[in-house]
Amino acid sequence: TMLPLLLLLLPAAHGIARVPDTPKLTEDPRVEGLTTGTTFVLEQPRCFFQDYGDAVIWLVVALDEATSTFNDSAGPGTPETAFQGFPSPVRAYMTLNATLGSYPCPKPDGEITVLRVGSETSCARDATRPTCNGPLPGPGPYRVKFLALQGSEPVADTDWSSPIMLRTAKSPDSISTTGSGHSAGMIAITTILSILFAILLAALVAMLVFWGSDSCGGSSTFSKPEAVTVRRYNTHHVYDQPAA
């Protein structure tokens, strides 16, 4: 029963203030691809850290089970928080740093104010950019929070978000070919239409062959042969003559 209380007191022990806001996925209907196989889209932390004007705001992305052990004092760009080591041995990394000037409060009307986490591919394997906003390596679940630093000192943070799951592609073996009556009906209709088309095509070819042979026969003229009469002749010298 003492562990949850100690976890709540830990930020205060480090001098970190907890702001009353929690990161969440955007609800803006104009944003497509809220979650993909490697990214998700958050609302920007508008009006979260207005009491820390000179602070730099960082996004912390962690595995769900690593939130309770994340060290706020680790600092961005260190081996302990480098994206290139995520998810093992690094269990949480820091990325998308911005000053409060990037997050004006209140939010301008009509403006899309989101952060796409996981959108950079060029730096995913570049060890010289440990704060890369690289593609997420698996479906999750992940949890995120915003952390305000003044210099290298953490001064304020938000609660961790709810678990975030990414999309996963279906295995071909898991796709049923018989579970949908609609798809089975379409297959049957397609088969019947293919057979009827083949029959129609065969009939058409047969008709063309018949008409071709008939037209060739009509162009020839045949005359009925006349009867041949053979007259019979008696040659006298071949008969036996009576004795003289």
Q: What is the arithmetic mean of pLDDT over 229-241?
A: 52
226 — pLDDT class (breaks 50, 70, 90): low
Digit-coded pLDDT (tens) for 135-155: 999 999 999 999 999 999 999
Pairing type for strands 153-157 and 17-18 reads parallel
Burial tier of 60 (Cβ tally within 10 Å: 0-12, 13-18, 19+):
buried
**Residue in this structure with the two tokens 């969440």, named with its chain if needed:** 24
Q: What is the arithmetic mean of pLDDT over 53-80?
A: 96
Q: What is the pLDDT of residue 9?
A: 43
Pick the closest to residue 76 from 174, 148, 161 (CA basis). Answer: 148
Q: What is the pLDDT of residue 6?
A: 41
Q: Is the pLDDT of residue 169 over 90?
A: no
Pick the closest to residue 54 from 147, 149, 145 (CA basis). Answer: 149
Whole-angstrom Cα distance, residue 219 to residue 195?
A: 37
Q: Quick check: bond before 141 cis, omega within 30?
A: yes
Q: Which domains does the chain have, with CATH numbers?
A: 15-167 (2.60.40)
Q: What is the pLDDT of residue 215?
A: 59
- For 177, other C-beta atoms within 10 Å of its C-beta total 8
DSSP bridge pairs for 59 = 95, 146
CB 61 within 8 A of CB 146: no
